[in-house]
Amino acid sequence: MDEAQTPVGPVVAFIGLGDQGLPMATAIAQAGYPLHLWVRRPASLDGLGKVPHQRHNTVGELAAACDIVCLCVSTDDDVLHLVGEMLEGLRPGSVVVNHGTGLPGNAVRLAELCARGDVEVLDAPVSGGRPAAQERRLTTMVGGPRSAARRCRPVFRSFSRHVVHLGGTGAGQTAKLFNNALLMMNQAAIGELVELAVELELDPGRLVEVLKLGSAASTALSLLNTMVRLDNVEHLARVEALDMELFDRALREAGIDSAAVTERGLGGAHGLVRLLHHLDAGTTPPLTSPGNPGRPTT
């Protein structure tokens, strides 16, 4: 354990030191909260540098030492598996927080699982990507008991510009899926306009840059050639398609027909590679649907 600051507030566990998780965990420790960690691979700790933390050998040992357990891992299955392993160690009255993107129905299942041990659960997915996590300006969308949300809010504020409690269990996941769907629908609209610009022999790159400056400006536009680049666009397109499939499944589980929105969002995800090639003024590939290799580790 590195030399730590004077403990302030709850003891916080964090699992998932990926692109977003690492800067989130760093922010928690630098805000003065005692940070406890469990990792599958010791090399995952290298990015922490001298950030004060204590490492545990098992998730059960980690859970027993902490008041708030935060997970920022790839899938709902990962979350349910890890929480299942730590159930016996979780303290009554503690809070489990899922910062990953998943199904509202699985948020409910997780809450039911933890309720047996008098443990509360929050679904609190984040939006903004690694740059926002590094700059501590993520948006955290919270679902679950209001009392637990109040307890965890100061921890969330360590890495967030906005923390919004949206309602009961699953509300945070629903908001995140809607956020992702709208981003992809906007990308679909941008792609359609860029195709028209190409037909008119306008420079699509210059067009997009001027649209960013006008009343058409949007996050979907601002991400192009900044966070979304030729070197990562295929990976991001696959992730987006997976998120859109989660959106569709969540709405179907709720008995709602979202086919039109899902189709529009998938169009944005599947057209992202072509859009980026247009903006690069290079060879533009044909419209294709990215494969589905599984959600990447976060």
Query: 150 and 36 in one domain?
Result: yes
Query: 156 and 46 in one domain?
Result: yes
180 is a domain residue? yes
Query: 197 and 119 in one domain?
Result: no
Query: 195 and 141 in one domain?
Result: no
Query: 123 and 57 in one domain?
Result: yes
- Domain with residue 189: its CATH number is 1.10.1040
Distance CA 280, CA 240 (A): 21
- Domain with residue 117: its CATH number is 3.40.50.720
Q: Which of these three, 168, 196, 228, is where a domain ends?
A: 168
Query: 226 and 111 in one domain?
Result: no
49 is a domain residue? yes
* Structural domain for 130, as ranges: 12-168
pLDDT score of 268 more than 50: yes
Query: 105 and 126 in one domain?
Result: yes
Query: Which band of pLDDT confidence, cut at 50, 70 and 90, is reported for residue 281?
Result: confident
- Residue 297: how many CB atoms within 10 A of its CB? 13
Query: 185 and 159 in one domain?
Result: no
Q: Which of these three, 127, 145, 168, is where a domain ends?
A: 168
pTM for the structure as a whole: 0.89
145 is a domain residue? yes
Q: What is the pLDDT of residue 8?
A: 63
Query: 163 and 184 in one domain?
Result: no
Report the number of distinct structural domains present in the chain: 2
Distance CA 265, CA 108 (A): 25
pLDDT score of 293 more than 60: no
Query: 254 and 195 in one domain?
Result: yes
Please tell me which residue, 54 or 285, carries the higher pLDDT value.
54
34 is a domain residue? yes
Q: What is the pLDDT of residue 2?
A: 42
285 is a domain residue? no
Q: Which of these three, 168, 188, 204, is where a domain ends?
A: 168
287 is a domain residue? no
Burial of 68 (0-12, 13-18, 19+ CB in 10 A): buried
4 is a domain residue? no
Question: What confidence tens digit (pLDDT) does each residue in 183-237 have?
Answer: 999 999 999 999 999 999 999 999 999 999 999 999 999 999 999 999 999 999 9
Distance CA 107, CA 151 (A): 19
pLDDT exceeding 70 applies to what percent of the chain? 92
Query: 164 and 193 in one domain?
Result: no
Query: 226 and 157 in one domain?
Result: no
2 is a domain residue? no
